[in-house]
């Protein structure tokens, strides 16, 4: 294929960066791109031109009163979480983030994913207590009021369910949106107190190797966490993107273990007990242990490994004719910062490096972007991420070789296995339709 030549607004000439229309990411540095070569259909101004302008009604009347707490425009009502248990049946409930309808790296609080195992508890913050006890020198009780006087830190961190992306264990690509496939991960700025600060006050018996964190919700959800992680970067979080935690995300306080599977980040946190050995609660002994092809199972996976997916274009979208598009997506790693993201438009035959939106933060969403000229032919879009520790996101074939796949498709809302992090592929058809494919 002959390489197309483009010029950005600074006059730099840019080469095609990889096959099937990927353009050098430096094209994004300018304010726009000017095509030096022949124009393609759909790129230049329409020959017909625009209609004459007139004032719309909203430009001729006074608007609505301002609400005390504002919500998005009524025209954005479709930008919502999908619910796995809308009728509140007696079982767990999942709400998935609509990544294909969002941009940037911050998940709005109303759209942050949540999983609750017996509804969302209504907790009176004045009555809530956090107790730290067990193998400590001094057991202590904290209230929200007293914790509010402690030195706080803020950090941006993704939070991901260990079962996110589980539909991709299916042997065939499930025809589902990025929200259904990857909606159980979100990213927010969390503010609270370092757990190590509180453990410094209680003192730790050297025999303590684990802590058991427990919530005040009706299942009294409980997980064991290594003291090693507690002293590293664990936090007791009170604020989410600047305001108090959302009820479904753990109000009035939760544990945050940056980079570790969501279920361990115990919400409605009321008790931390330091112990010598893990409790082997149901969620660690059964639910978050992953069956391997050998018949054995992983235990204490903890880490959400390096992952990325393209949010636009993605499954269910329609490209309106050949021309210039921006490929945009999210990358993150529980190990640290994202080092680079590579993009392919030809199913992995050739790759080019995407631009990473600053700031690139450790254990946080990193937005990547890549200019792409769709020529109207078949294309398979993929992203692949590397983290600063050198971990690389596996191809689907590599992932399946290590972890196996199902013999037949499972329900899209089910969790047949966990900790899935391979490349996601979107196939673009000749009419511009985008579908989930395996490549």
Partner 1 sequence: MFTPERAICAASLVLAIMTGASLAETPNLGKPIDEAAIAAWDISILPDGTGLPNGSGTPAQGAVIYAAKCAACHGDNGKGGAAAALVSDRELAGINAAQKTIRNFWPYSTTIFDFIRRAMPFQMPRSLTDDEVYALTAYILAENKLIGATDMMDAQTLPKVKMPNRDNFIIRFPDRI
Site for partner 1 in 190-249 (CB under 8 A): 197-198, 200-202, 209, 212, 214, 218-222, 226, 228-229
70 binds partner 1 (CB under 8 A): no
In angstroms, the Cα distances linking 276 to 139, 211, 376 are 16, 8, 61
For residue 215, give the H/E element and its range: strand 210-215
Distance of CA 303 to the CA centre of its chain: 14
410 binds partner 1 (CB under 8 A): yes
Alpha-carbon distance of 103 to 367, in angstroms, equals 8
Q: Which of 42, 84, 150, 326 lies at the binding interface for partner 1 (CB under 8 A)?
A: 150
Q: Which two tokens stand for residue 87?
A: 């009728």
Shortest distance (Å) from residue 130 CB to partner 1: 9
For residue 88, give the H/E element and its range: none
Q: Which of 10, 138, 320, 431 lies at the binding interface for partner 1 (CB under 8 A)?
A: 138
Query: Nearer Cβ to partner 1, position 112 or 363?
Result: 363
Q: Which two tokens stand for residue 30?
A: 């300018």
Task: Fill in the per-residue mask, 106 to 125: x = in contact with partner 1 (CB under 8 A), - = not in contact.
Answer: -----------xx-------
Half-sphere exposure of residue 119: CA atoms within 13 angstroms, side-chain side: 8
Binders of partner 1 in range 261-290 (CB under 8 A) = 270-271, 273, 275-282, 285-287, 289-290
420 binds partner 1 (CB under 8 A): no
Q: How far apart are the first and last CA of the chain?
A: 21
DSSP letter, residue 253: -
Binders of partner 1 in range 291-310 (CB under 8 A) = 291-293, 295-303
Query: Nearer Cβ to partner 1, position 17 or 266?
Result: 266
Task: Fill in the per-residue mask, 334 to 353: x = in contact with partner 1 (CB under 8 A), - = not in contact.
Answer: --------------------
Query: Nearer Cβ to partner 1, position 375 or 388?
Result: 388
88 binds partner 1 (CB under 8 A): no
Shortest distance (Å) from residue 396 CB to partner 1: 15
Binders of partner 1 in range 380-409 (CB under 8 A) = 403-407
Alpha-carbon distance of 425 to 423, in angstroms, equals 7
146 binds partner 1 (CB under 8 A): yes
Produce one character per residue of 114-142: b if its CB has 16 or more CB atoms within 10 Å, e if not. bbbbeebbebeeeebebbbebbbeeebeb
């Amino acid at each position: 294929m002959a390489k197309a030549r483009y010029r950005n607004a600074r006059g730099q000439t840019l080469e095609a960066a990889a096959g099937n229309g990927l353009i050098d990411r430096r094209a994004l540095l300018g304010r726009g791109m000017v095509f030096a070569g022949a124009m393609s259909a759909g790129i230049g101004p329409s020959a017909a031109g625009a209609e004459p302008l007139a004032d719309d009604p909203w430009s001729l009347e006074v608007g609505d009163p301002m609400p005390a707490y504002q919500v998005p425009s009524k025209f954005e009502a479709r930008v919502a979480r999908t619910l796995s248990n809308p009728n509140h049946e007696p079982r767990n409930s999942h709400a998935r983030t609509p990544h294909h309808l969002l941009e940037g790296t911050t998940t709005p609080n109303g759209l942050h994913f949540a999983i609750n195992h017996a509804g969302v508890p209504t907790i009176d913050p004045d009555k809530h207590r956090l107790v730290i006890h067990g193998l400590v020198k001094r057991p202590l009780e904290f209230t929200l009021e007293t914790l509010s006087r402690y030195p706080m830190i803020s950090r941006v961190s993704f939070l991901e369910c260990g079962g996110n992306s589980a539909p991709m264990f299916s042997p065939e690509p499930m025809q589902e949106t990025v929200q259904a496939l990857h909606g159980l991960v979100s990213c927010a700025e969390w503010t609270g107190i370092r757990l190590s600060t509180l453990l410094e006050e209680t003192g730790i018996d050297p025999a303590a190797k684990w802590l058991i964190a427990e919530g005040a919700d009706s299942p009294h959800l409980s997980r064991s966490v290594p003291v090693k992680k507690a002293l590293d970067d664990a936090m007791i979080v009170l604020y989410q993107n600047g305001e108090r935690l959302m009820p479904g995300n753990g109000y009035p306080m939760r544990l945050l273990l940056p980079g570790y599977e969501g279920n361990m980040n115990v919400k409605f946190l009321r008790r931390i007990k330091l112990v010598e050995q893990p409790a082997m609660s149901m969620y660690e002994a059964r639910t978050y242990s992953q069956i391997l092809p050998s018949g054995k199972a992983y235990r204490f996976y903890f880490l959400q490994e390096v992952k990325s997916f393209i949010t636009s274009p993605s499954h269910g979208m329609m490209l309106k004719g050949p021309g210039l598009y921006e490929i945009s997506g999210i990358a993150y790693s529980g190990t640290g910062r994202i080092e680079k993201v590579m993009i392919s438009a030809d199913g992995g035959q050739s790759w080019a490096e995407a631009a990473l939106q600053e700031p690139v933060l450790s254990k946080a969403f990193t937005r990547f972007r890549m200019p792409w000229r769709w020529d109207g032919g078949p294309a398979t879009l993929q992203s692949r991420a590397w983290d600063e520790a050198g971990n690389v996101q596996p191809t689907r074939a590599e992932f399946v070789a290590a972890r196996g796949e199902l013999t037949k498709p499972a329900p899209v809302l089910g969790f047949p296995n966990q900790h899935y992090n391979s490349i996601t592929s979107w196939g673009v058809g000749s009419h511009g339709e985008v579908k989930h494919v395996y490549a």
